[in-house]
Each structure stands twice: as structure tokens, then as C-alpha cells.
């Protein structure tokens, strides 16, 4: 069988039906219950004779792990995708959980981000299995929970508690038709401004933490973020104050105000430098009048792979075979589980999926069936190349 014939062991019709089944199985996060979705995926793989297990973190947070062994021992390629989706939201003209198929497109929440990507990965596993697993080593497939809320019970849990590891990984997130060799990172920080409480009739003897927080927000907004990396869709970092919480009572001068920041970061930036810049900014703002505490809440490390890495080359070659043209190679603006796969587990990773980022989290989200078929073929050809 040629690689193309192996890839074609799964049909467009089957890929469409798998995606429709997944879209029709709601898994909105919050609350993040993916139990039914995990069952659907478990059934799809088990029906093909692919060994699969469901690993429950809680009753509703379940991760699916499947393995497909090749003909000889060798390296492991990890296919990873998330089952949870953001809530449907409003303004839909289609049923967000209907999986309607219209003019070559499947509509529904998660069609692009990323049940289509999961279906393309499952389709690739099915095709390889039907063709008799003509590769060396193995494919590890994980369909995870909790991606939209930080991955602690999904990909991070699998790495830390289940010791999932591999030589290469592909994340099937929507990639807008390009091959993504990385994503920007995210740093969540919380600063607490500390003043001194007093009766509101005597602001002169108190220290108003909200006033200091207001000055801090203004100063942080003026910070110049100079670093640039053109390969990223958004080639700079960003900083936004996204939550603020302060004060106790209308007639009290507030002694505490907390601001929470979302800092998008490039691989050339470091958590240490970013934190230090913010610390200095806050120190200038508070002067001798107040004090502050700064802490990191959570970090998604930025990822950027070398374009000459064998994993990148295999995926790019597969793209060229399927599309008959070279792909654009970019870095995604938003962070994904690739951050943990690379940053926490140290595994080389690329992102490719049939979805479009512009549709993710939007009303009338859809995935194109032709894109599903191509993505499934690209995954299969990448496997046959890397695990030759």
C-alpha cells in the first residue's frame, strides 16, 4: 500500500460522521464535563480494535488514552487534542449542538476548536490500523479534558501523574491552514496593593489602595514591549489588566486592592525579566506611600520549534503532498497544550488542525469536511514518514 492508500483507508463520510457525533455530544467548559465525549471516542476506537482506556480525574473530568503499536518497537508520536469546548454563547443561526452538515461544512460549538481536529486524529489512527499499522514504534493518542480552563486535569495531569511521554507530538488545534511551529506563552500575575484603612471621613490618615491600583494600571498600560518575533501571527507580547478587586465598605478607605494581569509572551522573553519589569513599575508607583505583593498565578511557556527539526520537516512534507504547495509556517498567537508538552515534558511539538482560529469561540463555528480529510491524511503521512 502506498502512503496515500494507507491515508485513504478512512473515508470523508466516516470523518464527517465522527465529527458530527462529537459535536452532538456537548462538552461545554464550564462546567467541563467531558464524560460523554470520552465515551464516544472510546467507542469509536474500540470498534476498530484499537486499545483505549479512560482515565478519570474526577467523575466528569476524564482523559482518553489510546495506543497503536507499529510492526517493530521504535519511537513514539503523540497525537493530542482537547474534548472540552467553550460554552455556545449567543447569536447562533444553527443549533450549536446539532452538528448540521450544510454545503460541505459541519456546524457546531467545537467543530473548529477542536472536535474536527480530534476526528482527523482518530481518523488517522483508524486508517493506520486498517492498513495493518505499517510503521515502526507507536502512536499515542490522548483526548483530554480541561484545556479551556488551564489543563491541570488534562494534558498537565497526563504528563505529571500518568507519566505520558513521547519523542514527538502533534496538537490538532485549529491552525488556519498553516503549519504552526509554536505558540506564544501566557503569564498570569496578581499584584496586591496595600494601603491603610481609615474612616472615609478621614482619608488624610489612611492610604487608599484603590488610588494606588489606579496609578498602577495606568503605568502598566504605558510599558513598552519591545521584543518582536515575526514568525508569530502576533509578533509581540502584550499586557492587559483583566481583573480588579478592592475595598471593603463604602465609608472606609480601602487598605487592599488586587489587580490581575494577562501577559502574552514570546520565546525571547523570560518570566524572570517580565516579572522584574512589572515589579519595578509597581515599586515606582507606590513609592513610600504604600506597599505591594506580586505573584505569578500560572504560566503557559512559549514554544518555538526549529524549522529544520525532523518533526517539522515531516509535517511540512506531508502538507506539500496533500496540498501540492508548501505551507505557511507560523507561530500561533494563543497558547495551547503545546506549551506543556514542550515546556513541561520537553517533547518536540507542532500544531496542525483542520479548524480556523477565526471561528474558534465564535457563533456559527464550523469545520470544512475537505479540511478534515486533508488533516487526517497529513497526520497519517507524517506518521509514516517519522516512524518509517
In the complex with Zn ion, the residue whose CB is nearer, 213 or 372, is: 372
In the complex with Zn ion, the residue whose CB is nearer, 117 or 123, is: 117
In the complex with Zn ion, the residue whose CB is nearer, 33 or 84, is: 84
In the complex with Zn ion, the residue whose CB is nearer, 7 or 114, is: 114
Shortest separation between residue 147's beta carbon and Zn ion, angstroms: 6
In the complex with Zn ion, the residue whose CB is nearer, 114 or 186, is: 114
Q: Decide if 301 contacts 347 (C-beta within 8 A).
A: no
DSSP β-bridge partners for residue 77: 139, 168
In sequence order, which residues have a C-beta less than 8 Å from that of residue 272 and are 6 or more positions away? none
In the complex with Zn ion, the residue whose CB is nearer, 173 or 269, is: 173
Shortest separation between residue 84's beta carbon and Zn ion, angstroms: 9
Give the CB-nearest residue to Zn ion.
113
Neighbours of 205 (CB within 10 A): 10
Q: Decide if 73 contacts 387 (C-beta within 8 A).
A: no
What span, in angstroms and rounded, lies between the C-alpha atoms of 239 and 341?
Answer: 24
Please report, as ranges, the residues that interact with Zn ion according to CB under 5 A: 113-114, 173
Angle, helices 369-386 vs 310-323, to 10°: value is 140
Shortest separation between residue 71's beta carbon and Zn ion, angstroms: 33
Shortest separation between residue 187's beta carbon and Zn ion, angstroms: 19
DSSP β-bridge partners for residue 169: 78, 349
Shortest separation between residue 158's beta carbon and Zn ion, angstroms: 16
Shortest separation between residue 116's beta carbon and Zn ion, angstroms: 11
In the complex with Zn ion, the residue whose CB is nearer, 33 or 147, is: 147
Shortest separation between residue 56's beta carbon and Zn ion, angstroms: 22
Shortest separation between residue 114's beta carbon and Zn ion, angstroms: 5
In the complex with Zn ion, the residue whose CB is nearer, 52 or 114, is: 114
Amino acid at each position: 500500500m502506498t502512503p496515500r492508500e494507507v491515508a485513504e483507508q478512512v473515508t470523508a463520510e466516516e470523518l464527517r460522521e465522527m465529527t458530527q457525533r462529537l459535536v452532538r455530544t456537548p462538552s461545554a467548559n464550564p462546567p467541563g464535563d467531558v464524560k460523554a465525549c470520552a465515551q464516544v471516542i472510546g467507542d469509536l476506537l474500540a470498534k476498530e480494535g484499537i486499545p483505549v482506556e479512560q482515565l478519570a480525574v474526577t467523575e466528569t473530568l476524564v482523559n482518553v488514552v489510546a495506543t497503536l503499536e507499529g510492526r517493530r518497537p521504535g519511537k513514539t508520536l503523540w497525537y493530542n487534542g482537547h474534548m472540552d469546548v467553550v460554552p455556545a454563547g449567543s447569536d447562533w443561526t444553527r443549533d450549536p449542538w446539532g452538528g448540521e452538515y450544510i454545503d460541505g461544512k459541519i456546524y457546531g460549538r467545537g467543530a473548529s476548536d477542536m472536535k474536527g481536529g480530534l476526528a482527523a486524529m482518530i481518523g488517522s489512527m483508524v486508517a493506520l490500523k486498517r492498513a495493518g499499522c505499517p510503521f515502526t514504534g507507536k502512536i499515542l493518542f490522548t483526548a483530554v479534558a480541561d484545556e479551556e480552563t488551564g489543563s491541570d486535569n488534562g494534558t498537565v495531569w497526563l504528563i505529571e501523574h500518568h507519566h505520558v511521554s513521547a519523542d514527538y507530538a502533534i496538537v490538532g488545534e485549529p491552525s488556519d491552514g498553516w503549519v504552526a511551529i509554536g505558540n506564544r506563552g501566557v503569564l498570569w500575575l496578581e499584584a496586591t496593593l496595600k494601603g491603610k484603612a481609615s474612616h472615609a471621613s478621614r482619608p488624610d490618615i489612611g492610604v487608599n489602595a484603590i488610588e494606588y491600583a489606579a496609578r498602577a494600571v495606568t503605568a502598566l498600560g504605558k510599558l513598552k514591549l519591545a521584543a518582536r518575533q515575526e514568525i508569530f501571527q502576533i509578533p509581540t507580547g502584550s499586557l492587559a489588566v483583566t481583573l480588579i478587586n478592592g475595598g471593603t465598605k463604602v465609608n472606609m478607605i480601602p487598605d487592599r486592592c488586587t489587580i490581575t494581569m494577562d501577559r502574552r509572551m514570546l520565546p525571547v522573553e523570560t518570566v524572570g525579566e517580565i516579572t522584574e519589569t512589572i515589579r519595578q513599575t509597581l515599586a515606582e508607583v507606590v513609592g513610600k506611600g504604600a506597599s505591594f505583593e506580586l505573584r505569578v498565578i500560572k504560566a503557559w511557556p512559549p514554544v518555538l520549534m526549529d524549522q529544520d527539526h525532523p518533526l517539522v520537516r515531516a509535517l511540512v512534507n506531508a502538507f506539500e503532498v496533500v496540498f501540492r504547495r508548501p505551507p505557511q509556517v507560523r507561530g500561533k498567537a494563543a497558547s495551547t497544550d503545546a506549551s506543556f508538552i514542550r515546556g513541561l515534558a520537553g517533547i518536540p511539538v507542532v500544531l496542525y488542525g483542520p479548524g480556523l482560529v477565526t471561528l474558534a469561540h465564535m457563533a456559527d463555528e464550523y469545520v470544512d469536511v475537505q479540511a478534515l480529510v486533508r488533516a487526517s491524511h497529513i497526520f497519517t503521512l507524517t506518521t509514516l514518514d517519522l516512524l518509517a
